[in-house]
Amino acid sequence: MAGLSAALPASATEWMAWKGQDAAAPRAIYTQDTNEHGVMLTCQANGDLSSAITLSPGSLPELLAKNAPYGRSADATISVGDEASQQAKFRYVPAIDLVEIRSHAFAAKVFNAAVLGKPLNIDMKRETDIQADLPAPDMTFKAFAKTCATLREQSGS
């Protein structure tokens, strides 16, 4: 399999700072491989995480630029690797086939899937299930993690 990873484009393993973000201290990062589920992690002013994940492969910047006025609550379970699943409620945006994870605890599972190198599993009750292998942490991801940790310390969260 070592030869396979060498053949993949560099973008398959990278996180990018969202447009307009300081690359040295980003508060929003996303995966840029359009052949996989698009994943975004964001850090609020108090250091809490939130996330967005596409239900099918695609470009997050392109999807988020589209008009998607309607979203609804969706029951789901989430797990990382072989851990036990947890019940969750996410916001599903059907026009762009996107799941928003606003709970810090559940968005942290997305973050941890990347850190641990384990698959992220989301079972949507009425939609397509997600099993995503996230890119390993790179310099952008590490800068994001440091930014969020600093904000959490400053806010006392």
Whole-Å CA distances, 82 to 31, 37, 85: 23, 20, 9
Its pTM stands at 0.86
List, in order, residues 6 or more apart from 23 with CB less than 8 Å away.
Answer: 17, 140, 143
Check residues 51 and 12 and name the one with the higher pLDDT. Answer: 51
Q: Which DSSP letter does residue 20 get?
A: T
As a whole number of angstroms, the distance between CA 153 and CA 54 comes to: 31
The pLDDT value recorded for residue 56 is: 86
- Residue 32: pLDDT above 80? yes
User: What single-letter amino acid sits at 70?
Assistant: Y
| SS3 category, 157 | coil
CA–CA gap between residue 146 and residue 73 (Å, rounded): 31
pLDDT at residue 128, as a whole number: 78
Q: Which pLDDT does position 127 carry in this prediction?
A: 75
